[in-house]
Structure 1
Amino acid sequence: MKKLVMSLAVAGAIFAAPTVTDAMSMGDRGGDVRELQQTLADEGYNNASNVDGVFGPLTLAAVQRYQLSNGISSPAGNFYGVAGPATQSSLGLADGSSASSSSSTSSTSNTQVAGTSSSSDASAMISTARSLIGSPYVWGGMSPSGFDCSGFINYVFNQHGESLPRTVAQMWSAGTPVSNPQPGDIVFFETRTGPSHSGIYLGNNEFIHSGASTGVTISNLSSNPYWSSAYIGARSF
């Protein structure tokens, strides 16, 4: 399944932190990200100009280079590009005992495969989403008269009694990472820096979303090169 096993990128580092921070991924921001970037720069894996506290493609590439060079992960690994406990510990950002215990917890949470909703709930949600195909794109829109991408997802989930964060970045941070999305999960894309577009996964590499030029429509992750290259991961709720 093209791109759907793409590892999530993470950032989180400290000049001398006593404990392990949570694993961070593409789109994360803040002091932990800045410290990770600086530590990678000190080690020669990141450009000093890329110390801005935003985990984007340059930070992802730096983490991947460090993991490859130090035998932590590879392109075949589930956590390639994820600055989890093993990467943080190797960088000297946490002690080994904390990293070991956190690694077990992180591994459990990050390898979850299925979403939290039952298949019947997902089916009903997808039916609602499909009924909205053709609704126009409207910036900030949250009703059938017009949706932006996160407004569309919020509307569909709200129809089934579930409340989600309003923005794409907030949804990315709040959801549970899944390596292989299931129908009803949310797939995310980096169309600008960090997670900036999202849709509801339908299965068979398809997702439904409100596109700026299309309104609510169904697109394919594998056959559409734009979406396959922009895909950064999935979350369940």
Structure 2
Amino acid sequence: MAAPGFTRSLHGQGRLVVLLLALVLLAGCASRDLATHDPGPDEGLSIERALILATAEGALGTPYRFGGNTPEGLDCSGLVELSYRAAGIPVPRTADDQFRELPEARQARPGDLLFFGDRRKATHVGIYRGNGQMIHAPGSGRKVTSVPLHVAYWQDRYLGAASPAP
């Protein structure tokens, strides 16, 4: 027989899980889907995707620098360029050129690019990290960070994904 405190703790956690699931479902109904796909246990990542993600994760905390594409400073498309260069994959330099020239992905997988902006132009790009997270260089005075994608800000500006990595 479980201790009463233990049972009460599980009951409270169960309520929390149900509440969180309800919030996730409601958020999904209220926003557009970023169409992401995380690999299952049998899918794994290619070596290129693993290198892209390792490089992007290694850049976390790097200061934003307009036009930057080195570990000393990065802008959003510079982070993409640096990360893909580490995997031996050339990409265009700007977010809009990356959006227009790279192969579209219906569902983003870890290592793919996510584009944001208005309907005329991609003004921001990030790297899908998996589990509903994106690594990006957010802007002046800030540092490369990982953010959740369920936030309305990203949902409202999402243009699509690209998959240049195998």
Q: TM-score, normalised by structure 1?
A: 0.49
Deviations 1:36-71 (A, max 9, x none): xxxxxxxxxxxxxxxxxxxxxxxxxxxxxxxxxxxx
In the TM superposition, 1:226-237 aligns within 5 A as 226-237=153-164
State the distance in 2 between where 1:137 and 1:232 align: 23
Native 8 Å contact 1:154 1:166 kept in 2: yes
How many percent of aligned residue pairs carry the same amino acid? 34
Residue of 162, 165, 181 corresponding to 2:108:
181
Say yes or no: does 1:217 pair with 2:129: no
AA of the residue aligned to 1:145:
E
Cα offset for 1:160? 1.7
- Of 59, 69, 72, 1:145 maps to 72
Question: Residues 33 and 155 of structure 2 are in contact (CA less than 8 Å); yes or no, is this contact kept in structure 1?
Answer: yes
Instruction: Please give the root-mean-square deviation of Cα atoms over the aligned residues, in Å.
Output: 2.1
Query: Does the CA-based 8 Å contact 2:119-2:159 persist in structure 1?
Result: no
2:19 aligns to what? none
* Amino acid in structure 1 at the alignment position of 2:162: R
TM-score by length of 2: 0.69
The secondary structure found in structure 2 opposite 1:198 is strand
Q: What residue ranges of structure 2 are gaps of 5+ in the alignment? A: 1-27, 40-44
SS of residue matched to 1:195:
strand
CA distance in 2, matches of 1:192, 1:146: 28
1:52-131 paired onto structure 2 within 5 Å: 119-131=46-58
The residue number in structure 2 matching 1:88 is: none
Alpha-carbon separation, structure 2, partners of 1:182 and 1:205: 10
Q: Distance in 2 between matches of 1:142 and 1:184?
A: 17
Which residue number corresponds to residue 169 of structure 1? Answer: 96
Query: Aligned-pair distance for 1:3?
Result: 2.1
**What residue is the counterpart of 2:33 in the other structure?**
3
Distance 1:226 1:140 in 2: 24
Instruction: Give the deviation of 1:193 after TM superposition.
Output: 4.6
Relative contact order (alpha carbons < 8 A, sep ≥ 6): 1 or 2 greater? 2
Q: CA deviation at 1:161?
A: 1.2
